[in-house]
């Protein structure tokens, strides 16, 4: 049990604190075309990614402004999750560069990357809660980027101020009454709301969401999307989310990026697009 706990702690801490690995391939930067703009939170410059000899995408470029919500859409296997992971600096790009909160992710020191990680949040398709721990402890894990160490692993060890912050996050997702329930006693929809609380507890500037309602039934999925976007809009958070739900992409995205055949084939405001435009990406 102790071994399992310490290995889980180290893998969560590792994920939160991991330094970016060296890029697969060093390429020339195309910086001249992309003057720095202070309100841009995320910028991809001619990003490419391959796994071994298999190319996934190439020449991906865009800038995402503070407070903008961007839907990343495309058929299965086009590389949406891979692109998100590149944007977060969790995996190296094979070419080009990613600039997150003003830092080029493959040129950051460990300290700079920890600082960036403390300002971003992630909501995954699977909530990835630690089942045997309380809901409150799971929300506290969202503060590990800011406060690494065992004290933020469990609600019984956490400082009072952090417990209060975590309780506020739980109140915002409507689950304050569940704070001391074990995480494995929640429904799928409740679990995903706890995952949202964990993502927002550190007041991130940027949130990534990888198919945040994919594992939920349509009604619970709609509730989660409504809640998620209400919270992030309140705080002017920059959001990138992937979705296979065309209606969600158009409803919750300000902007839609479409991946197909290894390229960004669509980059437009949601207001200018119809469902048919997005369906074209899946042909």
Residues that bind ligand ATP (CB under 6 A): 51, 56, 74, 76-82
Contact 135, 214 (CB under 8 A): no
| Residue with Cβ nearer ligand ATP (73 or 200) | 73
The vertex-91 CA angle with 31 and 280, nearest 5°, equals: 75
CB of 94: closest distance to ligand ATP in angstroms? Answer: 12
| Residue with Cβ nearer ligand ATP (38 or 53) | 53
Both structure tokens of 154: 């469990």
Helix, strand or coil, per DSSP, at residue 199? helix
Instruction: Name the DSSP letter for residue 144.
Output: T
Please state, in angstroms and as integers, the Cα–Cα distance from residue 205 to each residue in 14, 111, 202, 278, following that order: 21, 18, 9, 28
| Residue with Cβ nearer ligand ATP (56 or 166) | 56
CB of 21: closest distance to ligand ATP in angstroms? Answer: 12
| Residue with Cβ nearer ligand ATP (51 or 234) | 51
| Residue with Cβ nearer ligand ATP (203 or 214) | 214
**Distance between CA atoms of residues 127 and 219, nearest Å:** 17
CB of 52: closest distance to ligand ATP in angstroms? Answer: 7
Residue matched to tokens 């997005």: 278
CB of 51: closest distance to ligand ATP in angstroms? Answer: 3
Q: List the beta bridge partners of residue 64.
A: 42
3-state class percentages of the chain: helix first, strand second, coil last, to nearest 5: 40, 25, 35
CB of 84: closest distance to ligand ATP in angstroms? Answer: 8
CB of 203: closest distance to ligand ATP in angstroms? Answer: 27
| Residue with Cβ nearer ligand ATP (96 or 142) | 96
**Distance between CA atoms of residues 85 and 81, nearest Å:** 6
């Amino acid at each position: 049990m102790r071994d399992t706990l310490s290995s889980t702690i180290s893998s969560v801490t590792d994920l939160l604190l991991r330094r970016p690995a060296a890029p697969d391939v060093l390429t020339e930067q195309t910086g001249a075309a992309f003057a720095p703009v202070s309100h841009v939170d995320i910028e991809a410059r001619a990003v490419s990614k391959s796994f071994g000899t298999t190319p996934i995408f190439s020449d991906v470029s865009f800038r995402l402004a503070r407070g903008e919500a961007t839907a990343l859409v495309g058929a299965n296997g086009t590389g949406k999750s891979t692109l998100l992971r590149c944007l977060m600096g969790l995996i190296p790009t094979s070419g080009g560069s990613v600039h997150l909160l003003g830092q080029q992710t493959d040129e950051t020191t460990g300290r700079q990357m920890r600082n960036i990680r403390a300002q971003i949040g992630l909501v995954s398709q699977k909530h990835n809660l630690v089942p045997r721990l309380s809901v409150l402890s799971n929300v506290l894990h969202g503060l590990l980027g800011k406060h690494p160490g065992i004290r933020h692993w469990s609600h019984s060890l956490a400082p009072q101020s952090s417990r209060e912050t975590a309780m506020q996050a739980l109140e915002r997702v409507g689950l304050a009454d569940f704070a001391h329930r074990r995480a494995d006693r929640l429904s799928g929809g409740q679990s995903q709301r706890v995952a949202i609380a964990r993502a927002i507890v550190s007041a991130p500037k940027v949130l990534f969401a990888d198919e945040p309602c994919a594992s939920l039934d349509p009604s619970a999925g709609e509730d989660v999307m409504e809640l998620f976007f209400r919270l992030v809009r309140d705080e002017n958070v920059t959001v990138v989310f992937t979705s296979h739900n065309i209606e969600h992409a158009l409803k919750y995205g300000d902007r839609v990026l479409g991946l197909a055949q290894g390229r960004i084939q669509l980059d437009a405001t949601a207001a200018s697009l119809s469902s048919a435009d997005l369906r074209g990406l899946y042909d």
